[in-house]
Amino acid sequence: MGNKNKKDEQLEEFRTDDRGKKMTTNHGTKVSEDEFSLKAGERGTTLMEDFHFREKMTHFDHERIPERIVHARGFAAHGEFELYESMKEYTKAGFLQDPSVKTPVFVRFSTVAGNKGSAEAVRDARGFATKFYTEEGNYDLVGNNIPVFFIQDALKFPDLVHAVKPEPHNEMPQAASAHDTFWDFVANNQESAHMVMWTMSDRAIPRSFRMMEGFGVHTFRFVNDKGEAHFVKFHWKPVLGTHSLVWDEAQKINGKDPDFHRGDLYESIEAGDYPEYELGVQIIKENEEFSFDFDILDPTKLWPEEDVPVKIIGKMTLNRNVDNVFAETEQVAFHPGNVIPGIDFSNDPLLQGRLFSYTDTQLIRLGGPNFHELPINRPVCPFHNNQRDGYSRMTINKGPVSYHKNSLADNTPETAGEEEGGFTHYEEKVEGRKVRARSESFKDHFSQATLFWNSMSEAEKQHIIQAFSFELGKVEDPSVKQQVVDMYANVSLELAQGFAENIGCKVPESGGSDVTKSSPALSQENSPKKPDTRTVAVLLADGFNGSEVSFILTALKDQGAEPQIVSEKLGTIQATDGTELKADHTFLTGESVLFDSIYAVGGEQVSEQFYKDAMYFIKEAFSHCKAIGATHEGKKWIEEADISSAPGVVHGDDTTKFVNELIDAIAEHRHWAREL
């Protein structure tokens, strides 16, 4: 990673390596025996005075803390953020002023619906939470991989989560929304229409955390040192582009490798292929708040990038894995209310509710008010106040004074004025009657759902229809299914008709939308496409052409791809010229769904079982629209499979031309023309 940043140096105090050390109790007493409890004779009762047994067992009994109600399944990494250009014109936030300053960050990715033990490649929104350890305090950008949300007001958040979680009478299904209560909620809370379009799209089954966009979701404010404010939305753009799995592939991955996403992130960082994300902001002037055909404070609406361009202002690099998942990933406490001078809130009613909910959640989950003192949550700057005591207090406050105002400590700690970096809330004029109501401008639930549909490629539209067909196909109540069909006829008649017949519902004959606007930025087909870090399964047997295969593997690596050899058994595979390569996987442990592409080679000593496994491997990868390259025996296999002329299938005798075409095919991610 290079030089340690300030957060790493701070964490060093808390790291420990027990190798080579003598065992002690938690209080430092050396332990002479850790196999047998203290007894009254060899066959006697265990004695109450066995303090080592009691401490060890008590700690074990309390090792588990309550998992997060949502976002329980998560994985995280450390990194740093580097600014491209000063944002002084818009904000006085210190970490957005000087491009020469690197800010430590901690990022946690997560699924929303499943419990801590659920699989990762499920259809779900993903959390994308970033903690910036700035010199002015911690700033938390707590977002998702989808720019909008299901509801408009935080009062309905418990209802949403109750509906999407396993149904209480049978605790099923886990980590899935394909059941009656969720879709009943959707049909009867139609503000969810836009978000559901995203969750039914490929965005909800990302290829990896490294190829997933992040969004702040809410509208925030930038405030500069003149007191001028701008509305702002935050975006994380993955340098590798935004790419997804296909549904059949995702379901199989969950059975073969339920840790697929965390494993991908961990191994990438360990290999030095550091995930990178560029930070972008959309900025709207205060006097332009009502200049759009949507309400900019509505969390079920996005700001189309064609209307409000995304300004790229910096890059985040994740370059170190955690040392301990519990101490860091599980105990990290994010909160959208953790802001610093220069970043403030808007009146988005969902955001306003989150400002209460997150603190309330951490109090029960982390056992009290001192969770900010845990190493992963501690700011890198000093903190001083009159808060005292509570569970797990680590700070040892000296002196008798713990109140404000005081004379015994010269009225310290004292408040800081705005000119000294003190946080001051933006002075927005607020007036009105106390009401339980919602702005009329929040009542358009379908136009941006239609915008999303209009923006999709033909392949993406088919995937959305298939997703609705699967999800609603699991719903048992006919009325709920029909309600959803009728609801989405307001979004797109083509969409509603596309899945209505598949689920046994009455096909709507009228409806649709007069919205013709689209946003090309919403289609993953327009995302950057690179071969970097793409895995290539090399199907190899004894008797291969050593010089040719070595040349192709080197060329793939030079372009950033990661070839891994799959064979009948682990061990050495020998070429006709004596070249030896080592198998990384067998067909049992290296299934096609775990790779991005295939290079089928074979060899002179291909067994009947190898042939059967290779053919299944190729056909499955082909059905998932992956790039396939073939030479030697591999060419025979693709001919037998009748796919040699299909899009994304590469073969030929000119080795240099072959490898260049294969790299291009791999970079494309998927070849959807096969489906269409």
Positions marked catalytic: 71, 144
Closest CA to 371 of 386, 402, 389, 392: 392
The strand order across the sheet containing 535-540 reads 585-586, 562-567, 535-540, 597-602, 627-630, 649-651
Q: Are 314 and 90 in contact (CB under 8 A)?
A: no
- The three-class DSSP label of residue 167 is strand
DSSP code, position 676: -
The closest of 435, 384, 438 to 413, measured between CA atoms, is 384
Classify residue 538 by its DSSP letter: E
Describe the crossing of helices 478-488 and 458-473 by its angle, rounded to 10 degrees.
160
Angle between helices 546-558 and 655-667 in degrees, nearest 10: 40
Note whether 282 and 243 are within 8 A (CB): no
Assess contact for 514 and 522: CB atoms under 8 A.
Answer: no
Exposed/middle/buried for 255, CB within 10 Å: 0-12, 13-18, 19+? exposed
Half-sphere exposure (Cβ direction) of 551: Cα atoms closer than 13 Å: 13
Task: Give the Cα separation of 22 and 40 in Å (integer).
Answer: 27
Rg (C-alpha) for the chain, rounded Å, is 28
Contacts made by residues 100-104, CB under 8 angstroms, sequence distance 24+: 102/5, 103/132, 103/133, 103/134, 104/5, 104/6, 104/7, 104/8, 104/78, 104/79, 104/80, 104/132, 104/133, 104/380
Asked if residues 146 and 203 have their Cβ atoms less than 8 Å apart, the reply is yes
**Residue 190: left if φ>0, alpha if ψ -120 to 50, beta else—which one?**
alpha
Could you give the CA distance from residue 452 to residue 448 in angstroms, rounded to a whole number? 6
The phi and psi torsions of 130 (rounded to 5 degrees) equal -125, 125
Q: Are 491 and 448 in contact (CB under 8 A)?
A: no
Q: Is-contact 151 157, C-beta < 8 A?
A: yes
Q: How many residues does the chain have?
A: 676
**Alpha carbon distance 420, 387 (integer Å):** 22
The closest of 78, 539, 53 to 322, measured between CA atoms, is 78
Q: Are strands 649-651 and 627-630 parallel, antiparallel or unpaired?
A: parallel
Question: Which residues have CB under 8 Å from 384's CB, separation 6+?
Answer: 413
